[in-house]
Structure 1
Amino acid sequence: MTSDVWLPYRADEIEGLPEGFNYHFWDGDETYPADPANCDFYVVPYLKGSEIAVRPLAAMTKVRAVQTLSAGIDHVQPGLGDLHAGVRLCNAKGVHEASTAELTLALILASLRDIPGFVHGQDKQEWRSGFYPALADKSVLIVGYGSIGAAIEDRLTPFECARVVRVARSARTTERGPVHPLAELPELLPAADVVILSTPLTDDTRGLADAGFLSRMKDGALLVNVARGPVVDTQALLAELESGRLRAALDVTDPEPLPAGHPLWHAPGLLISPHVGGSTSAFAPRAKRLLAAQLTRFAAGEPLHNIALTTG
């Protein structure tokens, strides 16, 4: 029997898909395109939320691989208990690095140079000249040094930072230098002018940037979150922003989407972008190449790339 593959793109939109599969288009609609029980390879709809992502999983009794189009897998994890053992869950490593790193630099530069203030000044026809902080000569701490963290450092290199310090779950050495373990964060935070969060959301990173974390950051430092909203304790961050001690730039928030009337909207020293780190013109070509490559490997019985976990 031919295997079913569920895609959030129509099959004719993706070059290089292998033959021998029944391809079904499903992007989160209420009605399924086929019986979920016959699905062997499920590609999770992108940016549709956890409820839609996990909706068909309980009925996918023969699925062998689940592929996200996001770097994170936290939105799928609530449904993994419904799957049988041995299902491979793959993320979209290689798809979002360029766009997310690009936005990270944009948020840093916009915050340091007060681009939002210039926009407001333009609206009011005010010439807001003066001296503003530069990224040059700043010490930058990247918390979460996976492929996105490394891509961020790639783009920091031309900006003549005084120092770039890398932190990940465990220590290791890279061509650029050492990666410090999370346990060393308390002693690293006080020296950083810019702290970038690019970690996955896990039990270890949920609430990582809490009151204690933020209190260790130096006066006037900038916190940039391109990870997941719950990595930051929102109330603790609000307290620091309202005191004027820290500044922040957030592509992700907790809660998200940020509701009208939430105090983050008007917090001083805060720049917000609406979780657009990966959703750019660079996304679709990279996502489609990933799917063609993964399904070609799946058809050939070869190991899949980017396996985040296997159910069991």
Structure 2
Amino acid sequence: MNAPVWLPIPPDEIDGLPEGPDYRFWDGGADGDQEFPGDPADCVLYVVPYMKRHPVKTRPLPGMRRLQVVQTLTAGVDDITPALAGLPPGVRLCNARGVHETSTAELALTLTLASLRGIPDFVRAQQHGHWQGDFRPALADRSVLVVGYGAIGAAVEDRLVPFEVARVARVARSERTTARGPVHPFTRLPALLPEADVVILCTPLDDTTRGLVDAAFLARMKDGALLVNVARGPVVDTAALLAEVSTGRLTAALDVTDPEPLPPAHPLWTAPGVLISPHVGGPSSAFLPRAKRLLADQLTRFVNREPLRNVVLTTGTADGP
């Protein structure tokens, strides 16, 4: 096999890559204008650069006429899927399931605890030298609803259990049973929302989840409840959320927003009871070793013509663009 494979991590830094492919490094460059490492038409497997702007990530795709696999280093693929429409049929899109669960679940718990215990207020008080005590809710004895119970949602529950929460309810697009209990369908949300003290969003963004958290969803949440979003910004109707947090009825902890990045003058920045982190669920020290292991395993499967992991869709089929 000596076909080019484009990697956003230098190949000599990835242990376990199989022999055979012609590995070429391309991450788009600091400004997104890095020259291609060869003719895109020759590339057979493209690993999408991580944490780059959408135009950078998709720039080579129109010329990749021999492409067989697109591998993202993100769990969500909503930004890449539309760019696959011009590719030949049979191209498999694979996501990075197994890479981000640990880091994203850790941040979901961090945001939950920080918001409940009032850490942002303490930080502001520290900046002014104020010793400001307060009586705040604990995570212990709270009821938590996890919306989107895939690998990340399950990892979030793993981290909730030691905190002695009263109950974890799980919701996903498909109803099923797990070792920890039932996973309810989205149709059960109206009944489950009023019971939750904390609602954690982990669902992928697609046509069924865009705007899922609208005014009606938020109105069903109990007074004083906390909404945590580590999914995608457009899962939440920003105007509807602002209306609720502005009254103080709900609070929110958001790692993702709509729009994103959040403009400096946007009212979410100063809305009461809102904690914002700049989409940092994935980028942590946990990312790189897991990403390298995924790539080594996936390339080994590709070279040996074994089934690939994490195939989300295949172009030219019913599930693809």
Mapped to 2, the partners of 1:273 and 1:236 lie a distance apart of 20
Which stretch shows the higher mean deviation, 25-34 or 291-300?
A: 25-34
1:130 CA displacement:
2.8
Q: Does 2:258 align with 1:238?
A: no
Provide the residue aligned with 1:26 in structure 2: 26
1:92 CA displacement:
0.2
Q: Does 2:44 align with 1:43?
A: no
Superimposed CA distance per residue, residues 10-43 of structure 1 (whole angstroms, 9 cap, x where no aligned partner): 1101000011111111111422111000000000
Provide the residue aligned with 2:178 in structure 1: 174
Mapped to 1, the partners of 2:183 and 2:280 lie a distance apart of 27
Superimposed CA distance per residue, residues 162-215 of structure 1 (whole angstroms, 9 cap, x where no aligned partner): 100000001000000000001111111011000000000000000110111111
Provide the residue aligned with 1:108 in structure 2: 112
Mapped to 2, the partners of 1:170 and 1:231 lie a distance apart of 18
Superimposed CA distance per residue, residues 56-98 of structure 1 (whole angstroms, 9 cap, x where no aligned partner): 1111001000000000001101211011111110000000000
1:141 CA displacement:
0.1
Provide the residue aligned with 2:90 in structure 1: 86
**Superposed structure 1 runs of 4+ greater than 6 Å apart:** none
Provide the residue aligned with 1:77 in structure 2: 81
- Please say if residues 7 and 26 of structure 1, whose CA atoms lie closer than 8 Å, have aligned partners that are also in contact: yes
Provide the residue aligned with 2:198 in structure 1: 194
Mapped to 2, the partners of 1:44 and 1:26 lie a distance apart of 9
Mapped to 2, the partners of 1:290 and 1:263 lie a distance apart of 39
| Unaligned runs of at least 5 residues, structure 2 | 317-321
Counterpart residue type for residue 12 of structure 1? D
Q: Does 2:153 align with 1:149?
A: yes
Counterpart residue type for residue 9 of structure 1? I
Q: Secondary structure at the match of 2:223?
A: coil
- Please say if residues 54 and 78 of structure 1, whose CA atoms lie closer than 8 Å, have aligned partners that are also in contact: no
Q: Secondary structure at the match of 1:17?
A: coil
Mapped to 2, the partners of 1:6 and 1:128 lie a distance apart of 53
- Please say if residues 53 and 75 of structure 1, whose CA atoms lie closer than 8 Å, have aligned partners that are also in contact: no
1:54 CA displacement:
1.5
Task: Tell me how large the CA RMSD over aligned residues is.
Answer: 0.8
Give the TM-score of the pair, scaled to structure 2.
0.96
1:49 CA displacement:
2.6
Provide the residue aligned with 1:16 in structure 2: 16
Alignment of 1:1-312 (within 5 A): 2-29=2-29, 30=33, 31-312=35-316
Which stretch shows the higher mean deviation, 28-37 or 238-247?
A: 28-37
1:259 CA displacement:
1.1
The alignment covers a number of residue pairs equal to 312
Q: Secondary structure at the match of 2:93?
A: strand
Mapped to 1, the partners of 2:243 and 2:28 lie a distance apart of 38
Mapped to 1, the partners of 2:82 and 2:270 lie a distance apart of 33
Q: Secondary structure at the match of 2:124?
A: helix
